[in-house]
Amino acid sequence: MRKLALNDEILLKIEKPARYIGGEVNSVMKDSEKVDIRFAMCFPDVYEIGMSHLGIQILYDMFNRWEDVWCERVYSPWVDLDKIMREEQIPLFALESQDPVKDFDFLGITLQYEMCYTNVLQVLELAGIPLMAKERKKQDPIVIGGGPCAYNPEPLADFFDLFYIGEGETVYRQLLDLYKENKNHNGTRQEFFERAAAVPGIYVPSFYDAAYHEDGTLASFAPNNTFAPETVKKQIAVDVTDTYYPRKPVVPFMKVTQDRVVLEIQRGCIRGCRFCQAGMLYRPTRERDVKMLKEYACQMLQNTGHEEISLSSLSSSDYSQLKELVTFLIDEFKGKGINISLPSLRIDAFSLDVMEKVQDVRKSSLTFAPEAGSQRMRNVINKGLTEDEILEGAGQAFEGGWNKVKLYFMLGLPTETEEDMRAIPELADKIARRYYEIPKDQRNGKCQITASTSFFIPKPFTPFQWARMYSNEEYISRAAIVKHAFHDQLNRKSLKYNWHDAEITVLEGVFARGDRRVGKVLLEAYRLGCIYDAWTEVFDYGKWLKAFENTGADMAFYNERERKADELFPWDFIDIGVTKEFLRREWERAMKGEVTPNCREQCSGCGAAKFGGGVCYEGKN
């Protein structure tokens, strides 16, 4: 029988002990003596967030299908348990076996968000693994990172042995076989890293050196080991139908952020919004076969007991078989108490019709993401949405019985003017006005329009990777302009305005586009006590400012300058298929306010066709 890593006394002291005990329905138990490789899969945030992440579920299922591998899960302990583990010297443990993570062969860490970086260091330290990769010995696990933030791995380069660039279903088997072979021959860590560097998509940061110009910009980035390639190529599953997907996802004992079955209907997005990193990283758009989705939907609901299924994608409306799939789900689960949720829909007549069938209109709110208030600004970001389309969609929704609308916008976008900022409350007011055009006896009470703004952060591999950001104070003043303009609107009683934290924005900006030198800021911030920076109740901006001061790093250098056209970026050694030339072309089109058609309307030659599949080859034999 399994012995829990935490005794009853500790479990009774901490908040939500179910986070740490494992044993959930569909979790996988194996005999550690009968496997060759033990892999601890970590989401560096609290259990409820990590358990909601589809990528880890896919990899967990894939690894555990292999007889020679046992993959277990590990999450960041919340601050209460973190304190106890340090005081009582309890090593970080995996949920399934409750064994210490330091005894595993691999620690895989998914990097979804820059503000989880201090938690990466927390996980390493609590596990008893040296923070710096160069200090690790033969008995230490191989620390490998993946996920969207791994596409600029440089801020974390000193802390990771390897990075996996691309989708996890592709080359992990090859990598693990090399590890087994190296282990059986009593090879060194260095010998394994040299062999790993030859695997497509694997980046070994210690095999590369960076040099800098006097002005602080990157002068060169080159391999220092003959086994390391000059370019690391993203790996993707071209056929997303015939690949790994969990039929029996793990069911948590407690409520988590996404307490439902998640069905990924496609990967990628055809739209080409210029601020959106995912839209570029996951090109080309690849659809899953509708027959497979129907089969998996039924099996996953049956195997979990969940009462909701979410159709996941970056833009669900663009899935070509959406009507057939939704109709099937409605018919199949009629009267069975199963909810169907459809995030990322464009608000049009078909989508509204679908939502009316699957949601309780009176209880639910609709979400629009115009991203910008003015048409000029929407053209700059290539949103492909006109004001008429927004008002038409809202009007149809109101006539269908909805009276709550959430609107998402960004502030601080390239070329933004005060007029563009004021256009945000003006658009919200026009939407409210459209509601009050409905005869009073046909309205569903008062309407509530909630507008939220986040601050734009330029991300690697987007057309806006050259853009400048602003200071914390400048962001606050922009939010103030929008807030005051909301008070001037005719329907202000129906309008509500929220805005994102500017302090977190400027830090996220530094780590999104930072180079290796910002790793020392991260380490210093962690030493000063920074942890769970994505959580407002724990976040401490003062400590971060101290870390920048102590290390001599300049936040403004990373954030407050527009990059030159020929600047070498820390992530330029990664080939994602989409070319730098295309991204620069899109930046120049943005500056002229020119709209680029989506991938199905017209190919723009982004470079993703080199993968040989997906939307680039639709309709071609």
Whether 587 shows a pLDDT value over 60: the answer reads yes
Whether 1 shows a pLDDT value over 70: the answer reads no
pLDDT value at position 349?
A: 75
Residue % of the chain over a pLDDT of 90: 90
For 512-524, write each residue's pLDDT tens digit: 999 999 999 999 9
CB 207 within 8 A of CB 197: yes
pLDDT value at position 366?
A: 85
Which tokens is 529 given? 């006590």
- In this prediction, residue 167 has a pLDDT band, given cuts at 50, 70 and 90, of very high
Q: Residue 226: what residue type? A: T
Neighbours of 337 (CB within 10 A): 7
Whether 355 shows a pLDDT value over 80: the answer reads no
| Tokens 């008070």, located at residue | 487
Which tokens is 213 given? 């110009």
Which residues is 40 bridged to in the sheet? 72, 107
- Which residue, 189, 184, 219, is CA-closest to 207? 189
Half-sphere exposure of 158 (CA within 13 A, CB side): 17
**DSSP H or E segment with residue 81:** helix 79-88
Cα–Cα distance list, 610 to 234, 235, 287, 570, 603 (Å): 11, 12, 17, 23, 13
What average pLDDT does the chain have? 95
Give the mean pLDDT of 5-22: 97
For 23-75, write each residue's pLDDT tens digit: 999 999 999 999 999 999 999 999 999 999 999 999 999 999 999 999 999 99
For 316-329, write each residue's pLDDT tens digit: 989 999 999 999 99
- In this prediction, residue 541 has a pLDDT band, given cuts at 50, 70 and 90, of very high
Q: Residue 479: what residue type? A: A
For 497-509, write each residue's pLDDT tens digit: 999 989 999 999 9
Strands (E), 412-486: 448-455
Question: What sign does the CA torsion over 382, 277, 258, 288 have?
Answer: positive
Q: Residue 129: what residue type? A: I
For 437-474, write each residue's pLDDT tens digit: 999 998 888 999 999 999 999 999 999 999 999 999 99
- In this prediction, residue 594 has a pLDDT band, given cuts at 50, 70 and 90, of very high
Whether 2 shows a pLDDT value over 90: the answer reads no
Strand 162-164 relative to strand 232-233: parallel, antiparallel, unpaired?
unpaired
- In this prediction, residue 146 has a pLDDT band, given cuts at 50, 70 and 90, of very high
pLDDT value at position 357?
A: 77
User: 8-15 — which CB contacts under 8 Å span 24+ positions?
Assistant: 10/81, 10/84, 10/88, 10/90, 13/80, 13/84, 14/78, 14/80, 14/81, 14/84, 15/78, 15/80
Number of alpha helices (DSSP H) and beta strands (DSSP E) in the chain: 20, 19
Q: Which 3 state secondary structure label does DSSP give 448?
A: strand
Q: What is the spatial distance between Cα 120 and Cα 40, in angstroms, rounded to a whole number?
A: 13
Whether 511 shows a pLDDT value over 90: the answer reads yes
Whether 259 shows a pLDDT value over 70: the answer reads yes
Q: What is the spatial distance between Cα 482 and Cα 171, in angstroms, rounded to a whole number?
A: 48
**What 3 state SS string does 206-250 have?**
HHEEEEECCCCCEEEEEECCCCCCCCEECECCCCCCCCCCCCCCC
Q: Where are the alpha helices (H) located in 359-443, listed in sequence order?
A: 375-380, 387-399, 418-436
- Which residue, 544, 551, 549, is CA-closest to 509? 544
Cα–Cα distance list, 434 to 120, 369, 375, 384, 387 (Å): 48, 18, 18, 21, 12
Domains delineated in the chain = 8-233 (no CATH), 244-359+574-621 (3.30.750.210)
